[in-house]
Amino acid sequence: MSDEAKRKKLDWKQRLHIINGIARGLLYLHEDSRLRVIHRDLKASNVLLDHEMNPKISDFGLAKTFEGGESQGNTKRVMGT
């Protein structure tokens, strides 16, 4: 967050909420979705916050998908943003 006033609003309780939301999103992508999705480019700039400061994982340009039971493999299928 570039704005200093907004940055001060991020106390540790709010930061933990964001971290837990990102972890839940990754768990869904890796374990619970129909296709297993590996993001491969998770960083702060690829996490968006909505008006209630809920995190949303974005930019799936480098992501790879696997079928339900697969845990590894070679694939040419790359997901878009």
Residue 80 pLDDT exceeds 60? no
Q: Catalytic site residues?
A: 41
Reduce the DSSP state of residue 8 to 3 states and report it.
helix
Give percent of the chain with pLDDT exceeding 90: 23
Q: What tens digit of pLDDT does each residue of 26-64 get? A: 888 888 877 778 877 888 888 999 999 999 988 777 777
Tell whether the torsion through CA atoms of 62, 53, 44 and 16 is positive or negative.
negative
Give domain limits for the chain. 4-66
User: Which CATH superfamily, name and number, covers 4-66?
Assistant: Transferase(Phosphotransferase) domain 1 (1.10.510.10)
**Exposure string (b/e) for 59-69, b if CB count within 10 Å is 16 or more?**
bbeebbbbeee
- Confidence (pLDDT) at 34: 77
Q: Determine how many CB atoms are found less than 10 A away from the CB of residue 38.
A: 19
Phi, psi of 23 (to 5 degrees): -60, -40
